[in-house]
Amino acid sequence: MTAPAERRSAGPATVRPAPAESSGGTGEAAAGRLGAGVWTALVVVYVVWGSTYLAIRIAVETMPSFLSAAARFLTAGLLLVGFVAVRHGRAGLRVDLRQLGSAALVGLLLLTGGNGLVVLGETSVPSGLAALLVAAVPLWMVLLTAAGGERPKRAELAGVLLGLVGLAVLSAPAIGGSIAPAGVVAIICATLTWASGSFASKRIRMPGNVFASSAYQMLAGGLGNLLIGLARGEERGLRPGDVSTRSWLALAFLVVFGSLVAFTAYAWLLRSAPLTLVATYAYVNPVVAVLLGWLVLAEPLTGPTLLGGAVVVAGVCLVVSGSRGSGRPWARRSARRSAQESAQG
């Protein structure tokens, strides 16, 4: 899991928004005119974010859950602060108290409640199953949007219902006792928290620099994970020498590639590609995660996993297809913001 679309992006705009997005057309026509850079960035987001579930599973083999998440996000947050300071100077990090509070709230929801609970869940749940459960985030977003007064389309509602059926199928092994129910519950709660953070980030005043905003979110989320880990007593008996080399490498991968490289690619895609194309990561990541878990960790591809995963992905596809185009209010707002930022260059 990673940071959602921010209210604004930072830095000079090198690529103008696709005309189909800003003018109300469908995303597909614009996607056909996009260059190699967009497709390269998409592959990075597809593969790297899909592989983070595997990396988390390997990290928690010998690392405590919340403390490993704290190390990941505190390290990545500090590195991102340094990047912004070098690129934009102190002005790039300047925020008011309201913006700082908003970033901290979103960081706690996304990276402590969301990612932290995923890490906890993966101590007992296979990485592929965790990714399939997390794929339900867009379904909760539809329900939160509806609660906010925006009427969902029929395709979105159908996608939510279909996705809930898929979640029930995925949860069957936990009900049957073959997988720890607590792990499945933790990950489902993580999806609700992540969706709440994503929903909030679009409606509260966030820092204008997308990288600075993410840095503050990572630092807040990392501190939240640290406090929970200490409250759980995860530091007791913890010795760095007991952590395996592969767990250290997995944590380094999560910091560098999961939290920095992939997010940078995602932030750039938000400015350079149709939103509906960028949103496809939500149903590509689980497929990548399931395949990697099977190939690297020999995680079994059970009937409930394959069937439930296919149903969840189909539901997410319906939600994304139902939201495409500028008919949605959030799509019109996003297109206007992108056009204004590109014009300001």
Q: What is the 3-state secondary structure (H, E, C) of 2-71?
A: CCCCCCCCCCCCCCCCCHHHHHCCCHHHHHCCCCHHHHHHHHHHHHHHHHHHHHHHHHCCCCCHHHHHHH
**What mean pLDDT, rounded, does the chain reach?**
81
Cβ atoms of 254 and 55 closer than 8 Å = yes
Highest-scoring range by mean pLDDT, 39-48, 131-140, 221-230? 221-230
95-99, 279-283, 332-336: which has the minimum mean pLDDT? 332-336
What DSSP state is assigned to residue 92?
Answer: G
Nearest to 217 by CA among 72, 51, 337: 72
Q: What is the pLDDT of residues 138-168, one digit of tens each?
A: 888 888 888 877 888 888 888 888 888 888 8
* Higher pLDDT pick, 220 / 329: 220
Beta-carbon contacts of 285 under 8 Å, excluding residues fewer than 6 positions away, are: 46, 49, 50, 131, 134, 135
Q: How far apart are CA 63 and CA 263, in angstroms?
A: 24
Predicted model pTM: 0.78
Neighbour tally for 340: CB within 10 Å: 11
Cβ atoms of 197 and 1 closer than 8 Å = no
Q: How far apart are CA 164 and CA 276, in angstroms?
A: 22
Q: What is the pLDDT of residues 259-290, one digit of tens each?
A: 999 888 887 887 777 766 777 787 788 889 99
pLDDT above 70 for 312: yes
Mean pLDDT in residue range 170-177: 75
Percent of the chain whose predicted confidence (pLDDT) is above 90: 39
Query: What is the pLDDT at residue 327?
Result: 46
